[in-house]
């Protein structure tokens, strides 16, 4: 019963996405299953840290990564915090828990040359899917929006006259993103092909499959991976890397960090600062080339 209440709280009050809510639920059910099989405990609501600690050890022994274990424990910690606020238990058993050490995750953005190649040199098919796929890549790079935001972008949210898009971000927060004139022309071209589809099932949304249904996140990933693989040897080629590329290229060109934060839809500046390591490298290069004290 407590888990159902927690799931409702995440969905209705915290406005978390279905994907995020399912991740929390699966983590908690995983711990519940461990308690049932190892300790014959039917409910996890009253367990102490000793049992949680033994779960962590079991996960480590199974070679589960520290990053994944930290995520699972974060889910459990949020659950016990909810139980504490609800009066179900007096304390949170994880209040003093320290996360396991993890290696810093470095995501390498695409270069300006790679983005220029994919948008200017690849011969996309001049049909509905070819025009759509190119626009998918261009919009992600031009706006830095999330994959889910792209999938859920509506026709109503596209303002050609104002050269802007209205997207629905995390926790149902709306934001307006400016769009370059070249991207507006690409949208107009796509809309012409879209209007010629023999059948449209989900007319609310901008991006559709050729059968007229709303596109899905796996399709977006496949498109990005397919075309970026033609111009880049980088291991990770995903929609999120395009978002990372957008932020890095703006910062490299001198964009204000707060402005990039707003464009990305981040709630805190700390989330945006993860993109600055690449721009710092660029600043070092500029400093090295331009400073009069440099004798090279």
User: Is 62 one of the catalytic residues?
Assistant: no
Annotated catalytic residue, options 77, 81, 170, 189: 170
C-alpha pair distances (Å), 271 with each of 2, 105, 163, 206, 277: 31, 14, 27, 28, 13
User: Is 266 one of the catalytic residues?
Assistant: yes
Annotated catalytic residue, options 72, 132, 134, 146: 146
User: Is 67 one of the catalytic residues?
Assistant: no
Q: CA-CA-CA-CA torsion for 119, 223, 201, 178, nearest 10 degrees? A: -40
Phi and psi at 58, nearest 5°, equal -60, -40
User: Is 170 one of the catalytic residues?
Assistant: yes
Give the pair of three-digit tokens for residue 231.
Answer: 């111009």
Annotated catalytic residue, options 25, 89, 175, 240: 240
User: Is 293 one of the catalytic residues?
Assistant: no
Query: Residue 179 in contact with residue 142, Cβ under 8 Å?
Result: yes
Sign of torsion over alpha carbons 121, 125, 131, 132:
negative
Rounded distance between C-alpha atoms, residue 282 and residue 44, angstroms: 50
User: Is 146 one of the catalytic residues?
Assistant: yes
Annotated catalytic residue, options 243, 244, 249, 261: 243
Residues annotated as part of the active site:
146, 170, 240, 243, 266, 275
């Amino acid at each position: 019963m407590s888990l159902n209440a927690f799931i409702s709280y995440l969905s209705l009050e915290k406005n978390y996405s279905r994907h995020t809510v399912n991740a929390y639920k699966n983590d908690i059910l995983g711990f519940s299953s461990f308690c049932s099989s190892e300790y014959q405990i039917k409910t996890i609501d009253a367990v102490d840290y000793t049992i949680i600690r033994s779960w962590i050890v079991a996960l480590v022994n199974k070679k589960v990564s520290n990053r994944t274990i930290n995520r699972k424990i974060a889910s459990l910690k949020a659950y016990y915090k909810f139980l504490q606020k609800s009066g179900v238990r007096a304390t949170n058993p994880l209040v003093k828990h320290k996360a396991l050490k993890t290696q810093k995750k470095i995501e390498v953005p695409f270069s300006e040359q790679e983005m220029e190649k994919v948008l200017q040199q690849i011969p996309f098919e001049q049909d509905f899917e070819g025009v759509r796929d190119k626009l998918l890549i261009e919009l992600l790079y031009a706006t830095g929006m999330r994959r889910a935001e792209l999938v859920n972008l509506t026709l109503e949210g596209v303002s050609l006259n104002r050269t802007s898009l209205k997207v629905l971000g995390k926790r149902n927060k709306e934001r307006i993103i400016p769009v370059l004139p070249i991207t507006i022309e690409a949208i107009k071209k796509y809309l012409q092909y879209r209007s010629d589809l023999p059948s449209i099932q989900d007319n609310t949304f901008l991006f559709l499959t050729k059968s007229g249904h709303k596109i899905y996140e796996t399709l977006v990933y496949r498109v990005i991976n397919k075309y970026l693989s033609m111009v880049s040897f980088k291991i990770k080629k995903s929609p999120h890397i395009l978002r990372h590329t957008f932020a890095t290229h703006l910062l490299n060109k001198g964009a204000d960090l707060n402005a990039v934060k707003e464009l990305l839809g981040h709630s805190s500046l700390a989330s945006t600062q993860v993109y600055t390591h690449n721009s710092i490298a660029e600043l070092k290069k500029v400093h090295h080339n331009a400073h009069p004290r440099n004798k090279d």
